[in-house]
A and B are shown apart, each in its own frame.
Chain A
Amino acid sequence: MKLLVPVKRVVDYNVKVRVRPDGTGVETANVKMSMNPFDEIAVEEAVRLKEKGVATEVVAVSIGPSQAQEQIRTALAMGADRGILVEAEGVVEPIAVAKILKAIVAKEGPQLVIMGKQAIDDDMNATGQMLAALLGWGQGTFANKVEIADGAANVTREVDGGVETVRLVLPAVVTTDLRLNEPRYASLPNIMKARKKPIETVKPADLGVDTTPRLKVIKVEEPPKRQAGVKVGSAAELVSKLRTEAKVI
């Protein structure tokens, strides 16, 4: 079966982001960008399913500026077979992304879409659920284990009190949690080979999707700063300060 893996280009997770002085957003010019960490886990899972012989082809798709090609190349170097870049400027909200992915699913016919549970920039945690809804498919969100057998996916999900397992009729959408796997590093020969793998480019309009945002950003600001604290010299001093000064114990 064919797998579709959406990947997002985001500010690298190690970067300490800065809010723009004019309050319109965070600074993204000249900032290191990478593949969203949860999406790396999704690519890894898809490639493992291919290595196990469960999947026959892995298609990586990214929606964003032309530079998002770099993230597709990373997915190809990890083992994806080919890429699709949906070129779009500005913010593309999860609802528009879900609609674009639905159109791509209609064209490609994957049996499983594996994607990250959330992007570390907008922290929405919504696109996978929305795609599943638009397709009328089952969803296995926050997955830490995925088993495919007999036309179904058994997905173990991380929930608040522990884990739970759901069985989804295929086709389905799975979103990855951190503990699903440890993504591989792309080797140099694979990075070279990935350069030759095909990437098709389309526009949202070609797919009939309007990407106008539904949420207007009024302002973006720094969170309130915490007051600088004090260093204490001993456990006794710490407990006494918590008792008498902070009065929290």
Chain B
Amino acid sequence: MTVLVLADHDGAAINQPTRSAVAAAGKLGEVHLLVIGPEAVAASGAKLGGVAKVLHAPAEHLLAEPAAALIQSLAGNYTHLLAPGSALGKNVMPRVAALLDVQPISDISGVVDADTFVRPIYAGNALATVQSSDAVKVITVRAASFDPVAAEGGSAAVEAAQAAADPGVSTFVGAELVKSERPELTAARIVVSGGRAMGSAENFHLLEGIADKLGAAVGASRAAVDAGYAPNDQQVGQTGKIVAPELYIAFGISGAIQHLAGMKDSKVIVAVNKDEEAPIFQVADYGLVGDIFKIIPEIEAELNK
């Protein structure tokens, strides 16, 4: 069995969710990586552990329509087509699946065998084991559920992929990306998150003191994002990012089902909330009831000791 993994990247290097998808693919067979983007990304893909071959298609922007046409043209050589369950993978893979007339399997958290996979449904409140009867399996992978392969050490050959015809129905206009010095949310070992109780965008920055001391990424609940306290790419939850860090600290987050879906697989969960009935305390390993504005500086001071 040979598996093709679509790489997600930042224009320079392969990202961590892709390395998790390669790890999932490794359970199924020989792994080939498809890089649509600059040459440098293909070179970074060739170094990944467990990748046997890199297919490189040069492109400035990764639009779903031409990308899906390209993957469709390569599909005949593969039993499984995988991508990370990132915004990119979710955008492209269902389109590929429809072109191949198969039902995609979204956001898998486990591989049982070549046809059978585990995936969370109902915001992670149930786990479904599903068996596909399709000839080719089209899958996106939940990054938090698979340990990523090593970023260095591999030496796969890079081959040029024959570009398929662009359907010409879409063009890239522009992007506004949020600049951050902190680790990427989905890859961070520690995540410090704030909710509506943070009260304002200025107050939200209070979390950065703790995040900097711990080398943590900053996350947010939907309420905090909707209120404009934090940008939407920081949202943790069913409709935002799924994280499973070693330590997740939730400040002023009540713990709605939607939010828990995005973080309840974290190894250690800490909740700080003034409402001792908040549902977040039901999943927290350590809970502290009190005013976050008093406790945040106290924790920061303790971390300095």
Complex contact A241–B286 (CB within 8 A): yes
A139 part of interface (Cβ distance < 8 Å) = yes
Q: Which of A225-249 contact B (CB under 8 A)?
A: 226-236, 238-242, 246, 248-249
Complex contact A248–B190 (CB within 8 A): yes
Complex contact A121–B122 (CB within 8 A): yes
Complex contact A123–B171 (CB within 8 A): no
A130 part of interface (Cβ distance < 8 Å) = yes
Our count of residue pairs bridging A and B at CB distance below 8 angstroms stands at: 262
Complex contact B177–A214 (CB within 8 A): no
A122 part of interface (Cβ distance < 8 Å) = yes
Residues of A close to B169: CB separation below 8 A: 136-138, 168-169, 172
Residue of B nearest to A139 (CB): B64
Residue of A nearest to B17 (CB): A160
* Binary CB contact string for chain A from 67 to 98 against chain B (1 if under 8 A, 0 otherwise): 00000000000000000000000000111001
B268 part of interface (Cβ distance < 8 Å) = yes
* Binary CB contact string for chain B from 98 to 129 against chain A (1 if under 8 A, 0 otherwise): 11011111110000000010011111111111
Complex contact A217–B91 (CB within 8 A): no
Partner of A238, one of B105, B238, B241, B299: B299
Complex contact B190–A169 (CB within 8 A): no
Q: Which of B40-92 contact A (CB under 8 A)?
A: 63-65, 68, 86-88, 90-92
Complex contact A19–B126 (CB within 8 A): yes
B167 part of interface (Cβ distance < 8 Å) = yes
A164 part of interface (Cβ distance < 8 Å) = yes
B203 part of interface (Cβ distance < 8 Å) = no
Residues of A close to B97: CB separation below 8 A: 95, 126, 130, 133
Bound form: Cα–Cα A213–B222 in Å = 33
Partner of A94, one of B104, B225, B239, B305: B104
Complex contact B64–A141 (CB within 8 A): yes
B287 part of interface (Cβ distance < 8 Å) = yes
B178 part of interface (Cβ distance < 8 Å) = yes
B153 part of interface (Cβ distance < 8 Å) = no
Residues of B close to A154: CB separation below 8 A: 173
Bound form: Cα–Cα A163–B6 in Å = 21
Residues of A close to B159: CB separation below 8 A: none
* Binary CB contact string for chain A from 117 to 130 against chain B (1 if under 8 A, 0 otherwise): 11011111111111
B94 part of interface (Cβ distance < 8 Å) = yes
Complex contact B233–A160 (CB within 8 A): yes
Most A C-beta atoms less than 10 A away, residue of B178, B246, B286: B286
Partner of A162, one of B99, B128, B176: B176
Residue of B nearest to A14 (CB): B257
Q: Which of B111-151 contact A (CB under 8 A)?
A: 116, 119-134
Partner of B68, one of A118, A124, A133, A168: A133
- 19 more A-B residue pairs beyond the given contacts A95-B98, A238-B302, A239-B303, with a C-beta to C-beta distance below 8 A: A26-B122, A95-B101, A95-B102, A95-B104, A121-B121, A123-B119, A144-B232, A160-B86, A160-B233, A161-B175, A213-B103, A216-B130, A218-B131, A220-B121, A235-B288, A235-B301, A238-B299, A242-B268, A249-B247
| 14 residue pairs bridging A and B, Cβ less than 8 Å apart | A123-B123, A125-B107, A130-B97, A139-B170, A141-B64, A159-B87, A164-B175, A214-B102, A215-B103, A217-B128, A222-B125, A226-B283, A232-B287, A234-B298
Partner-A contacts on B (CB < 8 A): 8, 10, 63-65, 68, 86-88, 90-99, 101-107, 116, 119-134, 167-178, 190, 214, 222, 225-226, 231-233, 238-239, 241, 246-247, 257-258, 264, 267-270, 276, 281-289, 295, 298-299, 301-303, 305
Going nearest first, the 5 A-B pairs with the smallest beta carbon separation are A235-B298, A126-B94, A133-B98, A138-B169, A130-B98
